[in-house]
Amino acid sequence: MTIAERLRQEGHRNGLQQGKQESQRLAALRIARAMLTDGFDRDTVLRVTGLAPADLTSESH
């Protein structure tokens, strides 16, 4: 395997990992939105979803 092929393969793996993380974050945001709509308090939503307070703040705008 050449250096270029190895770098391309590593880049592909990194891209897949980033995509997976973003997908998980979006799922957590959907869950948080539903929980807040159902009346759960903000602290409980943060604890259950693992989101940061800034994530919920940015979602409300």
Ordered per-residue pLDDT tens for the chain, 61 residues: 899 999 999 999 999 999 999 999 999 999 999 999 999 999 999 999 999 999 988 655 4
Distances (CA, A) of 19 to 9, 10, 29, 31, 41: 15, 14, 15, 18, 29
Q: Output the pTM of the full model.
A: 0.75
Helix ranges (H only) for the chain are 3-37, 42-49, 53-59
Dist CA 15 CA 25 (whole Å)? 15
